[in-house]
Amino acid sequence: MAAIEKDFRRSVVYQIYVKSFCDSDGDGVGDLPGITGKLDYLARLGVDYLWLTPFYPSPQRDGGYDISDYRAVDPVYGTMDDFDELVAQAHKREIGIMLDMVLCHTSCDHEWFQRALAGDERYRAYYILRDGRGSSGPGDPGQPPTNWDCAFGGSAWKWEPRLGKWYLHLHDVSQPDLDWTNPEVREACADVVRFWKERGVDGFRFDVVNLISKPEVFEDDLSGQGRSLFADGPHVHEYLRELVARAGIDGMMTVGEMASTTLENCVRYTRPEDHELSMSFSFHHLKVDYAAGKKWELAEPDIGQLRSIFRTWQEGMQAGGGWNALFWDNHDQPRAVTRFGGRAGVGERGGSWERVGKMLAVCDFLMKGTPYVYQGDELGMVNPGYDSIEQFRDVESRNYYQIMLEMGKGPAEALHVVNERSRDNGRTPMQWSSAPAAGFTSGEPWIGIPASARLVNAEAEVGVEGSMFEFYRSLVKLRHASDVIATGEVRFLDAGEEAPKVIAYERTLGDERLVVACSFADAPCRLADLGVEKYEVVLGNYDDAPAPGALRPYEAVVWRS
């Protein structure tokens, strides 16, 4: 089956969290036929690629990112025939399919790890196994080999008596890390990618791929580096080039999720001449509301810091010849509309909900890079605001709720933090209608439906002038049609001392100039002279024209020379 080939600079990617998109059989879990049934909706939106989160067999300890078989479809999501039909139907609509490749770790249920547990030396060498510190000999675990913490809390090491070793898991304890120093592991991973390419897949997203190369020497983290200690390791670029070449995916649409990465490394990951990836996800801009840099400590978003991060990454990637993936939301993030002030008037015209949602879309879509729409962004979906920790399903959220209680926080305070930070905020079912279960399923959904679904849903927005959906649709069209947005230079502008919460930038190509100004403030502000007095207004998120030299609360305006 011929792959879809599109210019990634002009493309828009739509991320689908398969478990929560559309349930076709009433079991409360989204599935592949459900996606196929919604392809006309996605074609109407105008997106070019669909990135599907893992639908492979999995014990679901980490939402499917704990994979027990890389070459199959979990029966809860359908069959391989269902997958082939999805690819065929998407291609008929000129939409490409991108798959999530989780090659940093497997599930402990994977055949490779099970064979390691059974004593097979070949497969023991697939994983990172170490003796404990202070061990007196075989059978005595001693202490973990290092003081490293895993992403979900607690030690990154697990003693396994059947191995007689500690195994490394940088994520959940059920996700042992693969040892990429082993050439056989690297070939096995390339073979997985080839398998799906040969089934007609058009692109790939690589999960935490900058963690595949570990430090040369395993030592304690004494400087508080955390995940930065493992990121962008000594052989990561070599391994990526090898993977791309062996799998035969050079030139395909590819993106890497880069944890705790650096600008310099992301330039190298994405420069065409280095033959690694098309683009990279980095997450620095989504930590501007972390108090003291800690995810589970809340703070108001620091818009000055946000502006600085965007400028550094936009202008820095441009200077180095790299390419950004542009996004606010994904399956691991709270909803940006809630996060950046859109808590009022949810589902109603004119509330901060609408202003913030459209402003964020403008800010993101018109930068230099490839925009990613996470399912529900185009509707303005918000955090659900659950009443109990029992309503959460995410292993990280449940773990940190307990950690916060142990640190002395009360249940109400801990629940508030989880409601603001949980990955489940982005995993609630897609809101198709105001019907029971938001039209997602005819059964009992695997996770609770937000109350906002009554007003915020596709049925209420598709084809409705001025709706969030139609606003996103207009942005996709603009992205496709505009050379200056696709390939022009980017430069950030000074919005002035009276506009501390405004992010402004220009895109230029030849004689054409596009100026974008987005206010993250809940009050009006005055703008410095951006040189747009004779420009036409191309787009805005208010129904009437902007006032000269000023922005209203959460206003976004795009001017063109």
370: left (phi over 0), alpha (psi -120 to 50) or beta: beta
Q: Which of 167, 275, 146, 273 is nearest to 218 (CA)?
A: 146
Cα end-to-end span (Å), the chain: 44
Q: DSSP character for 534?
A: T
Which DSSP string corresponds to 22-69? --SSSSSS--HHHHHTTHHHHHHHT-SEEEEPP-SS---TTTT-S-S-
The pLDDT of residue 82 is 98
The pLDDT of residue 558 is 98
Task: Record the tokens describing residue 99, joined without a space.
Answer: 């798959």
CA distances from 435 to 22, 439, 444, 449 (A): 14, 5, 13, 11
Furthest CA-CA distance within the chain: 79
Do 20 and 447 contact (CB within 8 A), yes or no? yes
Task: Record the tokens describing residue 141, joined without a space.
Answer: 């675990």
CA distance 178 to 175: 9
Catalytic residues: 207, 257
Please classify residue 236 by burial: count the beta carbons closer than 10 Å to its beta carbon, then call 0-12 exposed, 13-18 middle and 19+ buried. buried
What is the crossing angle of helices 236-247 and 183-197, to 10°?
40
CA distance 301 to 338: 11
- Cα 22 from chain centroid (whole Å): 19
The pLDDT of residue 3 is 78
Sign of CA dihedral 209, 215, 219, 223: negative
The pLDDT of residue 1 is 60
Flag whether the pTM goes above 0.95.
Answer: yes
The pLDDT of residue 138 is 86
The pLDDT of residue 498 is 97
Dihedral angle at the C-alpha atoms of 240, 333, 317, 42, nearest 10 degrees? 90
Ranges of the chain whose pLDDT falls below 70: 1-2
In this structure, the strands spanning 129-130 and 165-168 are: antiparallel
Q: How many residues does the chain have?
A: 561
Do 317 and 280 contact (CB within 8 A), yes or no? no
Task: Record the tokens describing residue 177, joined without a space.
Answer: 């890390």
